[in-house]
Amino acid sequence: MKKTTTRLADGRELVHYDSRDDAVRDTVDHRPLDATSTASEIRRDPLRGDWVAIASHRQGRTYHPPADECPLCPSRDGRLSEIPSDDYDVVVFENRFPSLIGPPGPQSAEDERGLFARRPAAGRCEVVCFTSDHDASFADLTPEQAALVLEVWTDRTAELSELPGVEQVFCFENRGREIGVTLSHSHGQIYAYPFVTPRTESTLRELAAHRDRTGGRNLFDDVLAAERADAARVVIDGDHWTAFVPHAAHWPYEVHLYPRRRVPDLPALDDAARAEFPHVYLEVLRRFDRVFGPDEPPTPYISAWHQAPVHHPDRREFGLHLELFTVRRSKGKLKFLAGSESGMNVFVNDVPPETAAARLREVATPGFRLTAHR
C-alpha cells in the first residue's frame, strides 16, 4: 500500500491510498475554496451523562446532488470535485462539514451550579471513499479492494489515536437514503471522539461486571464461544472470523463479525485475520442484498466498527468487532424507531434472531466456500 498526503484548496488534508507502489499523486486542487469555517461544541447532558455535538454549520452540507455533480467522484472532464485526481483506489479527506474538529479545549459551564457543561468539539471527522466508481457499492468490491479498505481503516485508526484529546476512533459506513445518506457514492466515515461514547461505556461496564461475576473471564470471549457452540445464529464460521446474529438482536437483520482471536482494535489484527476478513465481510454484505428477494432495491445498512477506547485501563479486555444491521424489516417495509426505542431505548424486534440467521444462511452465494481463501 502506498500512502500520499496532500492538501485541498481550503487547507483540508487529503490522503491517497494506492495498491500499487508506483502510483503518482501530484494533482493540485484548483477550486476557489475559502478556508472552512466551523462553529461546533459539545454539551453535556446532566441527566444522561453523555455529550452532544452542536454543529450548526452542518445545515449547509451537500444534499442529494445529481450523479454528474457528485463531490466524491474523481475530477474529470473539467468538473472539479473533492478528489483532484482523475482516478483513485481509496481516498480519505477531512470532512468539509465536520461534527468534531480541532484540538482539545477547557470545559466551562454557563450556570453557577455547573450543570450546563460545554467544551470545544475537539477531534476529527474524515470521509473514506472506497472506490472511484460512482455506481459500485462496497459489496461490489473485489477481495483485494476490500483488503485495501481494511488497511486504510487500520492506518487511520492508528494515526487518529495519536491526536491530542482523542479518546475513541469509530470507522463506519451508512448506505441508503433510508438511513439518511445524502451522497450515494460508496463511502464511509471516521470519527475521532474527544470522549468515550455512551455505547462503549455501557459495554465496558458489562465487561467489568462479567469479569467480577465469573472470576476473571472475558465477556467477548464467552459470547463468541457461546454463539459458536449454539450455532443456531451463526451465519459464517471461518478460521479467523465468525459472523453471527446476536442472541438479543435489536434490528430485524443484524450480524456481528468477531475475530476468533480477541484484539482491542484494528491495528492489532494479525495477517491471517486480515487475509480472511474481505471474503467473510463481502459475503455477508452480498447476502444482505439478497435477503429480501431479487425485486427489492439494495438493502440499506449501517456497518460499524467497535474498537477499544484509546486510553481506557480495560482496553486490552475489549474485543474489536463489526456490527452490521439494516432498518428494513421485510419487503417494502422499514423499521422505524418508535416510542419505546426512541423514548426509552428499549428495542422491540419483529424478526427472531434465529429466523434471521437461517435466512442469511439460505441466501449464501452459490459455491461459496471459505476454504478456498485460507
**Catalytic residue list contains 187:** yes
> Which of the residues 16, 187, 210, 279 is marked catalytic?
187
Strand partners, 52: 43
Helix, coil or strand: residue 188: strand
Tell me how crowded residue 374 is: count the other CB atoms within 10 A of its CB. Answer: 12
What's the Rg (C-alpha) of the chain? 21
CA end-to-end distance (rounded Å), the chain: 22
Strands 301-306 and 321-326 turn out to be antiparallel
Strand (E) or helix (H) holding 202: helix 198-214
Q: How far apart are CA 366 and CA 106, in angstroms?
A: 57
Tell me how crowded residue 58 is: count the other CB atoms within 10 A of its CB. Answer: 17
Helix, strand, coil content of the chain in percent (nearest 5): 30, 25, 45
CA angle 372-354-272, nearest 5°?
A: 30
Active site positions, annotated: 187
